[in-house]
Amino acid sequence: MTDSHTEQSMDVAKTLGLDKSRSKIHRLRNFLFFLILIAAGTASVLYWRTNGTDNTVKYETKPVQRGNLVVTISATGTLEPIKQVDVGIEVSGTIKTVEVDYNDHVEVGQVLAQLDTSKLEAQALQSSSALEAARAKLLQAQATVQEAEAQMARLNEVRKLSDGKMPSQSEFDTQKAAQARARADEASAKAAVAQAQATLDANTSDLDKAVVHSPINGVVLERSIEPGQTVAAQFQSPVLFTLAEDLTQMELQVDVDEADVGVVREDQEATFTVDAYPDEVFPARTTQVRYGSETVDGVVTYKAVLKVDNSDLKLRPGMTATALITVNKREDVILVPNAALRFTPPETKPEEKRGGGSILNSILPHPPAMKSTPREDTNGKSKDQKVWTLQNGQLTAISITKGLSDGKMTEVTSTGLEPGTELVTDMATAQ
């Protein structure tokens, strides 16, 4: 009974067309839902593209200052005594005694070392004996000369008394030759005496030089001998000691680069540090800038000498030092940071138009468009240039004339900048 009633209702609905109306309503409802989803997605993408990123340009600034500017150059070198002497020896022999050691204070004439002089004393004694023998031969030659002269005088007297008849001319010539030979022997004997005297003087000098004396008042820096050591002075005098005259006054010899030597002068202030006292700065002053150059590994440098006061004897010869030489000063001047001189604002260009305005183009992401390109940086190529400041959020150029620079700050010689003015040093886009 029920089934027959249901079948009758369906037949009536088909007859009236009600089943088709319901199907259309269902399809329309699905289409509207799909359109709502597309609209929501499009709105989300548009919102993300317009508000999802913030391309606001933010600037970094630093203020203009008033103060003092000190321009320095850096150089490295070593500390040396003002006067340093290498003490050697001119004779060979065996070291008998060494009288001083490292760091000992010595005076002029003080004995530093002695050689074994037994051989030298024997040579001196032999030379002295040779001299005495030469002097004896000289006396003998002088006696022969006197004898020859006396004989010649007698012959002259006889000739005078005999009225030229006696002696014969042959006897007279023979005696005259004998007198000449006697005088020659005398001259030879005198030369032999002089030669023996010179040999004795040389041996005596070697004997004196066997004792090494200090030539200056100073300090022993190096000692290269020990007792019993043999030294040979045949071709070159060996160095036995190195003495420094006065360590309270020293000099710092630094190598100045050829790019900086043009501004280094005598009597300029300087400071330096050494590794032994890393937290202490020592004063100095330039005394000499040498014209001769030195080339090491293709780098050309010039030697500059700085005077150093070492009254407390903290500094020692040979220490490596890094010096800062003050080559120029400016007091109470306008200073701008070098970062502001390097800043150049970008050159803005119109944005490129994007392809069609279809929904698909608006939905799909695109790479960001290039809005600006940096201008060519001409800062630093001339004394006149521009710096930039912000006025009402916009970049404004200020023309300046540069002066000295210490690498961090630069002097401004033209007017137009006031201390405290904020200058743009960099820019960044906040994402």
Out of 42-46, 222-226, 350-354, pick the least confident.
350-354
Q: Categorize the per-residue pLDDT at 54 as very low, low, confident or very high, splitting at 50, 70 and 90.
A: low
The second-level CATH assignment, the architecture, of 85-110+220-245 is Beta Barrel (2.40)
Out of 43-47, 56-60, 73-77, 146-150, pick the least confident.
43-47
pLDDT value of residue 199: 93
pLDDT value of residue 366: 52
At 202 the three-state DSSP class reads helix
User: Mind spelling out the 3-state secondary structure of 73-120?
Assistant: EEEEEEEEECCEEEEECCCCEEEEEECCCCCCEECCCCEEEEECCHHH
pLDDT value of residue 359: 47
Per-residue pLDDT tens digits for 317-342? 999 999 999 999 989 899 999 998 89
pLDDT value of residue 394: 84
Task: Count Cβ neighbours within 10 Å for each residue of 166-175 and write b for 16 or more, e otherwise.
Answer: eeeeeeeeeb
Average pLDDT of the residues of the chain: 83
pTM > 0.85: yes or no = no
Per cent of the chain over pLDDT 70 is 81
pLDDT value of residue 23: 64
Q: How far apart are CA 336 and CA 379, in angstroms?
A: 13
**Which of residues 320 and 427 earns the better pLDDT score?**
320
Per-residue pLDDT tens digits for 216-260? 999 999 999 999 999 988 777 889 999 999 899 999 999 999 999
72-82+246-330: which CATH number, 3.40.30.10, 2.40.30.170, 3.30.56.10, 3.20.20.140? 2.40.30.170
- For residues 242 and 221, the answer to whether their CB atoms sit within 8 Å is yes
pLDDT value of residue 17: 52
User: Mind spelling out the 3-state secondary structure of the chain?
Assistant: CHHHHHHHHHHHHHHHCHHHHHHHHHHHHHHHHHHHHHHHHHHHHHHHHHHCCCCCEEEEEEECEEEEEEEEEEEEEEEEECCEEEEECCCCEEEEEECCCCCCEECCCCEEEEECCHHHHHHHHHHHHHHHHHHHHHHHHHHHHHHHHHHHHHHHHHHHHCCCCCCCHHHHHHHHHHHHHHHHHHHHHHHHHHHHHHHHHHHHHHHHHCEEECCCCEEEEEECCCCCCEECCCCCCCEEEEEECCCCEEEEEEEEECCCHHHCCCCCEEEEEECCEEEEEEEEEEEEEEEEEEEECCEEEEEEEEEEECCCCCCCCCCEEEEEEEEEEEEEEEEEEHHHHHCCCEEECCCCCCCCCCHHHHHCCCCCCCCEEECCCCCCCCCEEEEEEEECCEEEEEEEEEEEECCCEEEECCCCCCCCCEEEEEEEECC
Per-residue pLDDT tens digits for 148-189? 888 888 888 887 887 777 777 888 788 889 889 999 999 999
Per cent of the chain over pLDDT 90 is 50
Q: Categorize the per-residue pLDDT at 126 as very low, low, confident or very high, splitting at 50, 70 and 90.
A: very high
pLDDT value of residue 3: 52
Q: How far apart are CA 419 and CA 367, in angstroms?
A: 43
- For residues 252 and 284, the answer to whether their CB atoms sit within 8 Å is yes
Q: Categorize the per-residue pLDDT at 356 as very low, low, confident or very high, splitting at 50, 70 and 90.
A: very low
- Does 384 have pLDDT greater than 80? yes
Q: Categorize the per-residue pLDDT at 1 as very low, low, confident or very high, splitting at 50, 70 and 90.
A: very low
